[in-house]
């Protein structure tokens, strides 16, 4: 959003751009409706805090039986949120003091998603949704380019998940909670 | 270029509200339903794998497969992350090691 800010884009443009760029978040709440709405005062915050990283962490988290699931999910969201603010502020304050070139450090985000995806596949043994995600993402990346492929790709993903429902459901042996 | 404080506040407020709307949409549509439609429950279970795969592609979207270095630094580092993770089963080593691997590769074997 910073490029829009410094060029002085009209507020309406900012709104449309934000909705387009963040449209992928529409799909994130679907798996958490029952859990979050039972969380009382924390409900609005849990919805607000559902970023890419928090979504992936909450989706792959296996809670030990003695742990209060809602409480744990709340603290995961809160700490993720807090670390993000802390890290950004720290970067602004002392980023220029780092004596060596940090180019490429952003790969840690890719590595995080790769690690969590690896865990997810090992746990659920469900490969079809992953393959569907990869194929539709690559398809629309090739068709539309890197700027706006995510929304159409996720729409196609939902359609394909619907078409393959029987195939995926039949392989239920993987423990998906 | 400097921007006015009020304009900056308006931009941040717009971004915040619009982002919250996208995240709140499924809850606004289904949040008041007593029983979720079975298809929504099904989607909630199978979407994470598909979305994580999409996010990995999203992270790698800048790769140009038609020109040197063909995204080799990224692809090798992703493979490195998977191998280290399956081997050590420790996120610290897989994420830290993978990032280090990438930072070394783009400086030595595949410079920009």
Inter-chain residue contact A30 with B43, CB threshold 8 Å: yes
pLDDT of residue B112: 62
pLDDT tier at B43 (50, 70, 90 boundaries)? very high
Q: Give the tens place of pLDDT for each residue, A75-126.
A: 999 999 999 999 999 988 988 888 888 888 899 999 999 999 999 999 888 8
Q: Collect contacts of B28-33 with beta carbons under 8 A, ≥24 apart.
A: B30/A30, B30/A33, B31/A33, B31/A37
B103 contacts in A (CB within 8 Å)? Answer: 103-105, 107
Is the confidence at residue B97, as pLDDT, over 70?
yes
Is the confidence at residue B78, as pLDDT, over 90?
yes
pLDDT tier at B59 (50, 70, 90 boundaries)? very high
Q: Give the tens place of pLDDT for each residue, A131-175.
A: 999 999 999 999 998 888 999 999 999 999 999 988 887 555 444
- Contact A163/B at CB under 8 A: no
DSSP B54-111: HHHHHHTTT--TTSTTTTHHHHHHHHHHHHHHHHH--HHHHHHHHHHHHHHHTTTTS-
Is the confidence at residue B1, as pLDDT, over 60?
no
Q: What is the DSSP letter of A106?
A: T
pTM, two decimal places: 0.88
CA distance B100 to B109: 14
Backbone CA torsion sign across A24, A57, B16, A17? negative
How far away is chain A from the Cα of B68, in angstroms, using its nearest Cα? 17
pLDDT of residue A38: 92
How far away is chain B from the Cα of A66, in angstroms, using its nearest Cα? 23
- Among A residues 47-76, those touching chain B with beta carbons less than 8 Å apart: 47-48, 50, 52, 55-56, 59-60
Closest Cα in chain A to B39: A162
Interface predicted TM-score (ipTM) of this complex, two decimals: 0.89
Angle at CA of residue A53, ends A73 and A96, nearest 5°: 125
pLDDT of residue A177: 42
pLDDT of residue A5: 79
């Amino acid at each position: 959003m910073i490029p829009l800010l410094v060029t002085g884009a009209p507020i309406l443009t900012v709104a449309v751009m934000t909705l387009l760029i963040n449209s992928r978040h529409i799909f994130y709440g679907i798996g958490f409706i029952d859990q979050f709405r039972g969380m009382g005062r924390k409900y609005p915050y849990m919805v607000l805090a559902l970023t890419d990283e928090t979504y992936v962490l909450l989706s792959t988290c296996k809670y030990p039986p003695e742990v209060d699931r809602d409480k744990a999910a709340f603290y995961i969201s809160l700490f993720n949120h807090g670390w993000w603010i802390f890290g950004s502020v720290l970067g602004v304050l002392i980023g220029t003091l780092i004596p060596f070139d940090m180019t490429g450090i952003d790969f840690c985000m890719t590595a995080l998603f790769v690690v969590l995806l690896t865990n997810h596949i090992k746990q659920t043994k469900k490969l079809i949704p992953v393959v569907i995600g990869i194929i539709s993402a690559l398809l629309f990346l090739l068709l539309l380019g890197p700027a706006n492929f995510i929304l159409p790709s996720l729409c196609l993903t939902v359609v394909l998940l619907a078409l393959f429902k029987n195939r995926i459901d039949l392989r239920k042996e993987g423990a998906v909670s | 270029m400097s921007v006015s404080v009020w304009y900056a506040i308006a931009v941040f407020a717009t971004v915040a509200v619009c982002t919250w709307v996208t995240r709140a949409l499924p809850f606004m549509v289904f949040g008041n339903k007593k029983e979720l439609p079975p298809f929504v429950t099904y989607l909630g279970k199978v979407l994470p794998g598909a979305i994580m795969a999409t996010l990995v592609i999203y992270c790698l979207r800048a790769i140009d497969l038609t020109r040197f270095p063909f995204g080799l630094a990224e692809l090798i580092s992703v493979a490195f992350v998977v191998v280290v993770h399956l081997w050590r089963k420790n996120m610290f080593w897989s994420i830290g090691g993978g990032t280090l691997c990438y930072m070394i590769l783009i400086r030595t074997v595949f410079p920009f």
